[in-house]
Structure 1
Amino acid sequence: MNTTTKAIAANKKKMDDLTVGLCALTVVGVSATAATPFWPAAWGQAPSIGVVVLAAGLAVFLALHTLYWWRNLDEAAQEAHKWAWWWGGNLGFIAGGAAVVIAALNGADLLPARVPHTDTALIALGVVAAFAAQAVGYGIAWCGWWVARR
């Protein structure tokens, strides 16, 4: 076996181990129903400890998966992602933010009727709108980067 094949096999084993760990966390998450201790009452009803453990495990799994994925990309793909995130993400954020501000200033009701119009809901809308605008900008820039270098 050459070095590249060994590295790929090692990464696959790591991902398989992570997947087994995530499956185990899923079992714990479903079965542990006790409320999370030390949950502030102002935040509402406490989630079960299993949900917290599952969410934390999923976050670690996604971070490690992304790390292994990034290390396996070639230099051109890494540059495409970095360029697209910088230019597409930033320009998408600016354009999306401007669109939300303009819509809000023109009196557009940006929240669905069934959602209570609270400060929390408006903050959540802003976060989702910012993320969506960055993702759309990133996707357009990523495709443009590859088309330009084809």
Structure 2
Amino acid sequence: MRGLKAFGRTIGRTLAATVAAAILAMVLRYHPQIPPMVELAAQLAVAAGSAGLLLWALAPWWRSLDEAVHEANKSAFFWGGQFGILFAFFLGMIEMTSTPFQRPRMPEWMLGVIIALVCQWVGYVIFNLIWWLRRGGWGAGK
């Protein structure tokens, strides 16, 4: 059960950091007094800071795992990510074919990226749970 709690905390931290970065990026986007070049620099700083924060949060957890858990996460990331992005693409195709094609504006593009990332995250969690359930559940072999 300890492994499940650690997994849940890690997923929660990464999701919180992703949502915080998305909110900050949207605030920067809609602030009327920010010049475009400053806005771009701030968005790049938010992206780099978010990536650094996620690496900082995940590195100790990843180093503490054994080989079986590494394989579980790699499998979940690959298959969950693939099916998650495929599902996001499917939703995007439905949206494009249900309305007349117009050039997407920035907020729609950002929403699409957020949807794709959430779909990948959900796919990762589902496939990770499947991987563990096929092998006897959390903490099997202890």
TM-score (norm 2): 0.56
SS at match of 2:99: coil
Q: What amino acid is the match of 1:89?
A: G
Structure 1: where are the runs of 5+ without partners? 1-39, 109-116
Percent identical: 33
1:51-73 deviation per Cα after TM superposition (whole angstroms, max 9, x unaligned): x6x98666534322311110001
- Matching residue's letter, 2:36: A
Please identify runs of 4+ aligned residues in structure 1 that moved more than 6 A. Answer: 44-48, 54-58
Given the alignment of the two structures, is residue 64 of structure 1 paired with residue 50 of structure 2, yes or no?
Answer: no
Task: Please give the alpha-carbon distance, in whole angstroms, between the structure 2 residues aligned to 1:73 and 1:92.
Answer: 25
Matches within 5 A, 1:17-32: none
Quote the residue 2:107 is aligned against: 121
Q: 2:93 maps to which residue? A: 101
Q: Based on CA coordinates, which of the two structures has the bigger radius of gyration?
A: 1
CA pair 67-143 structure 1, distance change in 2 beyond 3 A: same
| 1:84 paired to 2:70 | no
Amino acid at match of 1:148: R
- The residue that corresponds to 1:147 in the other structure is 133
Return the letter of the residue paired with 2:69: A
The residue aligned with 2:29 is none
Q: 1:71 to 1:44 in 2, by over 3 A?
A: closer
Q: Secondary structure at the match of 1:73?
A: coil
Determine if the alignment matches structure 1 residue 42 to structure 2 residue 36.
yes
How many angstroms apart in 1 are the aligned matches of 2:123 and 2:51?
24
The CA distance in 2 between the partners of 1:138 and 1:107, in whole Å, is: 31
Distance 1:56 1:72 in 2: 25
Contact 1:84 1:145 survives alignment (8 Å): yes
* Gap runs ≥5 in structure 2: 1-33, 137-142
Q: 1:91 to 1:119 in 2, by over 3 A?
A: same
Per the alignment, residue 134 of structure 1 pairs with 120
Give the paired residue count.
99
Greater RCO, CA 8 A, separation 6+:
2
